[in-house]
Amino acid sequence: MPWALPVGMIALAGLASVGYFAKLQQGHVGWTSEVAAIITFVMGSLCLISDIWVPMAIGIVTTLLLSEKAKIENFVEHLDKSEFHAVVRFLIVTVIILPVLPNQGYTQFNLNPRDIWQIVVLVSAIGFGGYFLAKRLGDRIGLWISGLLGGIVSSTAVSIAAGRIAQRAPHQSIHALQASMLASSVMYVRILVLIWVIQPGFVMQFLPRLLALAVIGTALCFTARTGQQKSSGETVEPARNPFEIRPAVLFASLFVLASVITVLVTRLYGDVGLIVLAGIVGVTDIDPFILSLISRTVDFQSMLLSAVLVAMMSNTLVKGIYFGFLAKQARKAALWRYGLWAVLHLPAILIS
């Protein structure tokens, strides 16, 4: 009887609706029991028409959620409205939009809508994780840890935010510089993770160089002596939530633009043009440029490694300039540390 399951589902949904509206009239708000009853029916139906592991997995997850219901409700109550909306948007573009995008290349530049959006989702997910942790932990984590977490989102944004803290509170200049440099050190690890997800075969070529540069940045960070400075409890965090729709679309546009410009520059000016372009893009966000290079390259080439390192070197130097411009008291300390850090990219570039 193929109609038995649909009829049963409709009947159960009707009873659940009656019960729900009856509770509403009594002033009780909540539909956990009704949803649990429907899920139980669905699990029983799946036992008949699918592999047994599917209803088993649903049952385990449902049991876990029900057992932690109080904690989940408390978490949601304390969740910032804008953050909640960002999570919902993330689920929409990941679960709904991504699967329906065409999975084929278009134009002479071979632009694949699904591949482009997958990279947007990946970068936004990592960024949102760092942003969310920084927001949740708040003042308890201080400048150092907030710099580390902020680097997951955007080390450039953290450098500017830390520079403003130093400008506003000169006695915090060294702590702010350390937060900025820690965020910049995290950039190398973040890029390494993105390369591993997009092109796992390239990781070993990047791993020793990027980890070495991250360690160098961390070491330079702690050569700055704080003296008698005490942390004021301020934290640095990126200026925006990294998973608002507009920034996500902007990142996708920058990614497409970087892909097209990279192809054109390589065709017209060869490897030299690509290196020059890498140096120029370091002034802004280098993620779209680096990820467009990585995603479009099938076989690893030394020029790819050089271009990525040049972009990072340029970006590192620019962050030092940003911070030094804002933080007058720590200007000298920032410029020589960031400058030395940028120069130490050269050996990694020359031996690539």
- 284 and 254 in one domain? yes
Asked whether 295 and 119 are in contact (CB, 8 A), the reply is yes
Asked if pLDDT for residue 105 goes beyond 90, the answer is no
CA atoms within 13 A on the CB side of 106: 9
Is the C-alpha dihedral spanning 32, 74, 83, 187 positive or negative? Answer: negative
Residues 64 and 108 in one domain: no
Please tell me whether residues 90 and 133 are part of one structural domain: yes
Backbone angles phi, psi at 106, to 5 degrees: -125, 155
Q: Is the pLDDT of residue 89 over 80?
A: no
Tell me: do 30 and 112 sit in the same domain.
no
pLDDT at 185 over 80: yes
pLDDT band at 139 (very low <50, low <70, confident <90, very high): very low
Instruction: Please name the residue that has the structure tokens 């708040």.
Output: 138
**Same domain assignment for residues 174 and 259:** yes
Residue 188 has pLDDT above 90, yes or no: yes
In terms of Cα–Cα distance, which of 103, 120, 284 is closest to 197? 120
Mean pLDDT, rounded, for 139-154: 67
> 106-115, 226-235, 318-327: which range is least confident on average?
226-235
Domain boundary pick from 12, 45, 73: 73
Domain boundary among 55, 73, 91: 73
Per-residue pLDDT tens digits for 271-304: 888 888 888 888 777 888 888 888 877 677 788 8
Per-residue pLDDT tens over the stretch 12-41: 778 777 777 777 777 666 667 777 878 888
- Cα 283 to the chain's mean position, in Å? 20
Q: Is 80 helix (H, G, I), strand (E, B) or coil?
A: coil
Give the residue among 225, 295, 223, 222 at the shortest CA–CA distance from 255: 295
Q: Which domain holds residue 38?
A: 4-73
Residue type, 282: G
- For 240-274, how does the pLDDT look when each residue is reduced to its tens digit (9 = 90+)? 554 556 666 776 777 788 778 888 888 888 888 88
Assigned token pair, 101: 């995008």
**Closest to 165 in 3D by CA, of 156, 154, 175, 155:** 175
Segment 312-338 shows an average pLDDT of 89
Identify whether residues 54 and 89 lie together within a single domain: no
CA distances from 193 to 211, 254, 277, 292, 348 (A): 11, 20, 23, 15, 19
Are 68 and 97 contained in the same domain? no
For residue 228, what pLDDT is reported?
Answer: 44
Of 209, 238, 219, nearest to 347 by C-alpha is 209
pTM of this prediction? Answer: 0.66
Q: Average pLDDT, whole number, for the chain?
A: 78
The answer to whether residues 106 and 231 belong to one domain is yes
**Bigger pLDDT: 295 or 337?**
337
Do 111 and 253 share a domain, yes or no?
A: yes
Q: What is the DSSP string of 16-77?
A: HHHHHHHHHHTT----HHHHHHHHHHHHHHHHHHS-THHHHHHHHHHHHHHHTHHHHHHHHH
pLDDT for residue 338 is more than 90: yes
pLDDT band at 75 (very low <50, low <70, confident <90, very high): low
Question: What pLDDT, in 10s, does the model give residues 192-242?
Answer: 998 898 888 888 999 999 999 999 999 998 887 655 445 445 555 554 554
91 and 19 assigned to the same domain: no
**Mean pLDDT in residue range 105-129:** 73
Are residue 175 and residue 231 in the same domain, yes or no?
yes
Which of 97-111, 117-131, 310-324 bottoms out in mean pLDDT, i.e. has the lowest?
Answer: 117-131
CA atoms of 287 and 292, how far apart (whole Å) = 8
DSSP code for 240: S
* Average pLDDT rounded to a whole number, residues 94-115: 77
What pLDDT is attached to residue 133? 64
Residues 137 and 278 in one domain: yes
Question: How many structural domains comprise the chain?
Answer: 2
Domain final residue, candidates 73, 106, 124: 73
